[in-house]
């Protein structure tokens, strides 16, 4: 079974920064990691490879530094990686990203299954997986929590929904987005790290993928961030230090007065 896994390199949550002029995320010079939800897709892909054989190719679209994420995936057990990178892709929204990924996958041709995480933690849209499936005209199943059975023509999977689970039979080739319930990601191995270090990651761009440049980057993205707002603290708390009997008594008195003023306890209770 030949599997393609879509991953994304995202800033660690504490390092997210936005460019207020363009409405895009600042990625240069920011410490990044593999999107945590993509790790579950990687683990599922490796489990399927271990059971059925085949090959796993990991693909990402991003700056040159995203090669690090691909090598980490290889160190976990994937076989090859492809980095789609170039200035023409800068500022791509989910639509433009899906288009570029889909066109790259067309170049690969021989695959049975595409896996992706449910969503990316930086954008939180969950649109790229379904977008790629749409561009490739593939069967799509989202929020997959369990792979039940795999045959030459179909994959049977359990899908997480609001009131329980659905069982789906999906014709292959297909694209599945997975949720955390599906697996527990493994750690990279020493042998895997050695392999990743030796693996050459090809970089694809408009020079070797047939792409309509009008559909790329910020100019080719139909999504526009109109305004970026910053949350404001609308109320302040009061911290009272009670260090002795006198201050404890004073603190209790202030607390009771506050409760009475705010009518937090109804009379008779």
What b/e string do you get for 229-241 counting C-beta neighbours within 10 Å, with b at 16 or more?
eeeeeeeeeeeee
Q: What is the pTM of this model?
A: 0.80
Rounded-to-integer distance, Cα 115 and Cα 174, Å: 9
Q: Specify the CATH number for the domain of residue 106.
A: 3.40.50.620
Q: Does 54 fall in a domain?
A: yes
Q: How far apart are the first and last CA of the chain?
A: 67
pLDDT value, residue 77: 96
pLDDT value, residue 253: 87
Rounded-to-integer distance, Cα 1 and Cα 172, Å: 11
Q: Does 55 fall in a domain?
A: yes
Number of domains composing the chain: 1
pLDDT value, residue 13: 61
pLDDT value, residue 262: 79
pLDDT value, residue 240: 78
Expressed as residue numbers, the domain containing 160 is 2-215
Q: Does 16 fall in a domain?
A: yes
Neighbours of 42 (CB within 10 A): 27
Rounded-to-integer distance, Cα 1 and Cα 19, Å: 42
Q: Does 264 fall in a domain?
A: no
Q: Does 220 fall in a domain?
A: no
Q: Does 221 fall in a domain?
A: no
pLDDT value, residue 20: 57
Q: Mark the ranges of the chain whose per-residue pLDDT is less than 70.
A: 13-30, 266-269
Q: Does 267 fall in a domain?
A: no
State the angle between helix axes of 190-198 and 67-76 in degrees (0 to 180), rounded to the nearest 10. 140
pLDDT value, residue 169: 97
Q: Does 56 fall in a domain?
A: yes
């Amino acid at each position: 079974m030949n599997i393609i896994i879509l991953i994304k390199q995202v800033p660690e949550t504490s390092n997210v920064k936005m460019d207020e002029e363009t409405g895009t995320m600042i990625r240069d010079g920011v410490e990044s990691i593999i999107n945590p939800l993509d790790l579950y897709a990687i683990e599922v892909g490796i489990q399927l490879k271990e059971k059925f054989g085949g090959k796993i190719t990991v693909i990402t679209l991003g700056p040159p530094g995203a090669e690090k994420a691909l090598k980490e995936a290889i160190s976990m057990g994937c076989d090859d990686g492809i980095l789609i990178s170039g200035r023409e892709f800068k500022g791509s929204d989910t639509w433009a990203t899906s288009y570029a990924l889909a066109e790259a996958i067309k170049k690969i041709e021989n695959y049975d299954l595409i896996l992706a995480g449910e969503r990316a933690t930086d954008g939180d849209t969950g649109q790229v997986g379904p977008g790629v499936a749409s561009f490739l005209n593939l069967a799509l199943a989202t929020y997959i929590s369990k792979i039940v059975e795999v045959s030459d023509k179909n994959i049977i999977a359990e899908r997480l929904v609001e009131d329980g689970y659905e069982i789906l039979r999906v014709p292959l080739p297909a694209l599945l987005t997975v949720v955390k319930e599906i697996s527990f990601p493994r750690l990279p191995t020493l042998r895997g790290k050695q392999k990743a270090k030796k693996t050459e990651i090809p970089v694809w761009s408009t020079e070797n993928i047939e792409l309509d440049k009008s559909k790329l980057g910020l100019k080719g993205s139909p999504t526009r961030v109109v305004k970026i707002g910053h949350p404001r603290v609308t109320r302040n708390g009061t911290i009272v230090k009670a260090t002795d009997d006198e201050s404890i008594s004073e603190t209790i008195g202030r607390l009771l007065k506050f409760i009475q003023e705010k009518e937090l306890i109804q009379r008779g209770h």
